[in-house]
A and B are shown apart, each in its own frame.
Chain A
């Protein structure tokens, strides 16, 4: 298996632009997690899905952030409009439902907003 795939690996954009991050979970996994990692706050859970349904989005920082999972093999995290404080590494992880301790992480997308 190729593991969790994220794209792009690096994204540089200007403040105010829309940013879309993409994730392909491991085939057969039915839970998907989006995390954000910064020096100040460490690794934080933003949102997670079970069977394509958002279960907990309490970590989403504000309305500028939205996440979708249109099918079992694809998810997006969108920031619109982006701000410099959104600069971070965004990780996607997947697992089987009920197995949070068996999450497999993608390599991350490093986002820089100038």
Chain B
């Protein structure tokens, strides 16, 4: 059974810092991996999608990497801003149509 773990569970950093969120998964047989953002009281918004054949994806200040063989992904946020404060979730597609989510990292950027 695929399991996804995110570390740390919570992170608080001052504005302007670069930071890394971590995601690990137990079964390397995945179709792709996604990073989502969840704001309080809201649904999930997809940030980046990495296909299994890719190593990384970039969108603005966000960069996500994927190492299937080691079962790891990282989300790098450059020059963090208070508006980046949210919960970030990692999810893998192990097959069929399912998304398997990690518990998330709650990020707080302090002005």
Please give the residue numbers on chain A whose beta carbons come within 8 Å of chain B beta carbons, in ascending order. 4, 31, 33, 42-45, 48, 50, 55-56, 91, 93, 95, 97-98, 100-103, 105-108, 110
Contact = CB atoms under 8 A, between A and B. Distances in A.
Contact of A105 (B43, B49, B102, B103): B43
Contacts, number: 56
A110 B41 CA distance: 9
Contacts of A110: 41
Contact of B99 (A4, A45, A97): A45
Contact of A107 (B43, B46, B93): B43
19 contacts: A4-B43, A31-B97, A33-B99, A44-B101, A48-B98, A55-B97, A56-B98, A95-B97, A97-B97, A98-B97, A100-B93, A100-B96, A100-B97, A101-B31, A101-B93, A105-B44, A107-B42, A108-B43, A110-B41
A7 to B, nearest CB: 14
Interface string B91-111: 001001111111110000000
A44 B102 CA distance: 9
A52 B103 CA distance: 29
Size range of the interface on B? 20 to 34
B89 interface: yes
Interface of B: 31-32, 34, 41-46, 49, 89, 93, 96-104
Contacts of A31: 97
Contacts of B104: 42-43
B96 to A, nearest CB: 7
Contacts of A33: 99
A4 B45 CA distance: 12
A32 B102 CA distance: 21
A50 B96 CA distance: 11
B49 A101 contact: yes
